[in-house]
Amino acid sequence: RNELVRQGMAVIAASVESILSRKSNEITGSLSLKAIELVVRSINTLMTDQANQGARYNLAVASVVCGMAASSTALGLSYSIAQSVHLVTGMDFYSALNILLPHVMEYNLTSSASKYVQIARALEQDIHDISIIEAAIKAVEGVRKLYLYLNVAQRLSDFEIAKSTLGEIAELAAEYPLIKNTPRDMERNEIETILITAY
């Protein structure tokens, strides 16, 4: 079960990163949204029936489709910070990625609101009769609701990481070329702010 959850959430994180990438286009965006839809559709089934072959197939297809999009767009901020968390603390990369994703989404929300509306729809959030910003917020809420349903850890502090390491993590993440793919320009202190919020 844990491996299925990890795989599903990793696909969602990579798909969101691909959608938000400055290199994204209509084709990669469509592929990434499809990957998110497939995960949402299959993960609910797999939580009650882990042997369901149709749901497992959908999750596998989601991974492939996500990989196709990400190979063209490159990943960004969530990946860079999660990799830095892993290197500095030894924390599992995928757990760090999951924790950071909604916080990075919040940081980029106003710069990519229309893309977030599409992400909210892929996450099966109700966005009828609300503003674009409200719908965009639903995308972040959709990820958090999925975390609660799947019992995914949402705080770095849950992993016994010392708060004193956050500055070092931010320093390392700021050196990653991939952060240039994020919709907003990023500096070390802003990365540290995201880490503090996620702590």
Average pLDDT, the chain: 93
CB 55 within 8 A of CB 42: yes
- Site of tokens 């909604």: 102
Element containing residue 28 per DSSP (H, E): helix 26-48
Q: pLDDT tens digits, residue range 30-74?
A: 999 999 999 999 998 998 899 999 999 999 999 999 999 999 998
**Mean pLDDT, consecutive 10-residue segments, the chain of 199 residues?**
86 95 95 97 90 94 96 91 96 94 94 94 95 96 94 92 95 92 88 96
- Site of tokens 């042997």: 51
> Which tokens belong to 182?
């994020």
CA distances from 71 to 16, 31, 88, 132, 145 (A): 13, 11, 26, 29, 28
Whole-model pTM: value is: 0.91
Q: What angle do CA 181, 176, 94 make, to 5 degrees?
A: 85
